[in-house]
Structure 1
Amino acid sequence: MELIRIVLKFLLLSAIAIISLIFTLPPCLAFRFLTFIRRLMFSENVAGKVVLVTGAGSGIGEQISYEYARRRARLGLVDIREDCLKPVIEKARYLGSPDVIGIGADVSKVQDCERLVNAAISHFGTMDHLVNNAGIARTGPFEEVENISELTSVMDVNFWGAVYGTHFAIPHLRKSKGRIIVIASVSGWYPFPGLSIYSASKAALIGFYEALRSETGGNISITIVTPGFINSKMTQNRSSLMKVQRSTPTVLFY
């Protein structure tokens, strides 16, 4: 019993030390530290695996696609702007992906999400990773919104777009014991002025996938990514996003 107490005390102190280190490091170093831990503990050989990435035409989705390509994954790249996928597909092939297809789809529509999953399965025969990345932003003080109905598009794309695709992909991911990667945002955890609807959509994502993780029973891994400020087309000319997220690190929840 004494040995057990010593071991538990050591583990507790180690955990406290790691957490303390994260919070005392500058944001950039904290991010690198967390990235190192992720790679150390959750490395996976994705060569030959089938990965479906939404919002792959630019920004985070584009860069994620290239990282998978470098690791020789087979890719199904999805974007509402199908013409934007052509250069991404070409570069993904150049970087090493043995098989890449592009799928034009609007993830805010149930029928499109069903179609994009079916297209991937029809071509590849299986699915190992689903990366729910597609997103849009509407910024500014809530009380200054003139047409409130326009805000529904943020939830339709950011939240429902991920939920719809997940619904149709789950049977295939369960067979492959695959993984769902969700690109949420730090604004889903912290209240930032000017980002009320955007924050709500990201908080909904986090809550949904935390609950879904408990439902899947470990047969499907779920990774929730909450980035800080990322310089992309979506954040260009959006000062409220730039001000509140520029200094925040990215955190991953497995």
Structure 2
Amino acid sequence: MEINKLLNIVFPPLFVIALLFILPPFLVLKLLFSTQRFVFKENVAGKVVLITGSSSGIGEHLAYEYARRGARLSLVARRTDRLQKVADKARQLGSPDVIVITADVSKIEDCKRFVDMTVNHFGQLDHLVNNAGVAHGTFFKETRNISDLVPIMDINFWGSVYGTHFAVPYLRKSKGKIIVISSAAGWLYPPGATIYSASKAAQIGLYESLRIECPEIGITIVTPGFVESEMTQRFRPAKYLKNEPTDDCAKAIVESTCRGDMYLTEPFWMRPLFLVKVLCPELWDWTCYWLIVHRRRALDKNA
């Protein structure tokens, strides 16, 4: 009998038996470590935090939240005038030192430059917040020019890769952290966000692997859902739902980072949807089809 055929028969029941023995003590240990993280949270006062895409939305409010906690900030985005306003407010909120760097995360040379400028100015790097991103909400079949989709991957995925590549040596030295502002779409794959979901799924996969490769760097993967921001103004939830305020989301992200959490989803109520997607994929696909695809077709038909 081939080894794979044998494993197909033997491994599943052995895995279930092992899980029954391992899971209870694991959950107890996890509870103890979680309690410890709540009590002994990281103090970011004086630490150096680099935030990409910090001219608006979640990135802007992350700058304010870190500033309230006394962190030194390196703010990166393409809009210099907007960055200056964010920097001024961050100083007023308590950040002892803020620098502004105009850069495009989709360009390798820009990413190397903003990491180098940050370290040259502050002498260290403690937190890298990969926040820069673009939204895209078009059905794949409606794409006329496939090359129009390239910037989505360039910014959402490669924009994180480039900055992380240049920052890792400094983060390993400081035993720092990477905060990944991804998206719930990276796990839920809703229709109408095909390439966007793919870019965020790739981003999540990158940092899941990097967490194992570089255990000295803490990595918190954030998957926002319905959160108010400049980027999501075009994408509104159902009438009976409201987007979570951006400042609430930013506060939750910094709190989660300081605790050393591996994952954070905001708003919190969206977490059970991941279980539905994993445990009942047919139900999830059917629901998405009728709520989004079928509804869109009906609207197009009546237009």
1:212 to 210, 216, 219: 210
Q: TM-score of the superposition, structure 1-length normalised? A: 0.81
| Offset from partner CA, 1:121-149 (integer Å, 9 cap, x none) | 11101100000000001211110011110
Residues 37 and 79 (structure 1), Cα distance of their counterparts in 2 relative to 1, 3 Å cut: farther
Residues 121 and 238 (structure 1), Cα distance of their counterparts in 2 relative to 1, 3 Å cut: same
In structure 2, what residue type is equivalent to 1:118?
D
Distance 1:215 1:166 in 2: 13
Distance 1:210 1:176 in 2: 20
In structure 1, what residue type is equivalent to 2:50?
L
1:48 to 41, 46, 49: 46
Distance 2:120 2:104 in 1: 19
Partner of 2:234: 237
1:154 to 126, 131, 152: 152
Larger mean CA deviation between 144-153 and 36-45 belongs to 36-45
Matches of residues 157-172 of structure 1 in structure 2 within 5 Å? 157-172=155-170
Distance 2:107 2:119 in 1: 19
- CA contact 1:228–1:247 (8 Å) conserved in 2: no
Distance 2:45 2:184 in 1: 30
- CA contact 2:227–2:243 (8 Å) conserved in 1: no
Shift of 1:238: 3.0
In structure 1, what residue type is equivalent to 2:67?
A
Partner of 2:56: 58
Partner of 1:32: none
SS at match of 2:179: strand
Residues 247 and 94 (structure 1), Cα distance of their counterparts in 2 relative to 1, 3 Å cut: closer
Shift of 1:83: 1.4
In structure 2, what residue type is equivalent to 1:225?
V
Matches of residues 167-206 of structure 1 in structure 2 within 5 Å? 167-206=165-204
Residues 247 and 9 (structure 1), Cα distance of their counterparts in 2 relative to 1, 3 Å cut: farther
**Aligned-pair RMSD on alpha carbons?**
2.9
- CA contact 2:228–2:243 (8 Å) conserved in 1: no
Partner of 1:143: 141
Matches of residues 1-12 of structure 1 in structure 2 within 5 Å? 9=24, 12=27
Residues 77 and 13 (structure 1), Cα distance of their counterparts in 2 relative to 1, 3 Å cut: closer
In structure 1, what residue type is equivalent to 2:142?
E
In structure 2, what residue type is equivalent to 1:228?
G
Structure 1 residue ranges (4+ consecutive) displaced by more than 3 angstroms after TM superposition:
8-15, 36-39, 246-253
SS at match of 2:231: helix
- CA contact 2:55–2:83 (8 Å) conserved in 1: yes
Distance 1:167 1:118 in 2: 12
In structure 2, what residue type is equivalent to 1:179?
K
Residues 39 and 69 (structure 1), Cα distance of their counterparts in 2 relative to 1, 3 Å cut: farther
- CA contact 2:118–2:125 (8 Å) conserved in 1: yes
Distance 1:144 1:38 in 2: 50
Question: Identity across aligned pairs (percent)?
Answer: 58
**Residue 222 (structure 1) aligned with residue 242 (structure 2):** no
Gaps of 5+ in 1: 1-7, 19-35
Partner of 1:23: none
SS at match of 2:234: coil
Return the index of the structure with the highest Cα Rg. Answer: 2
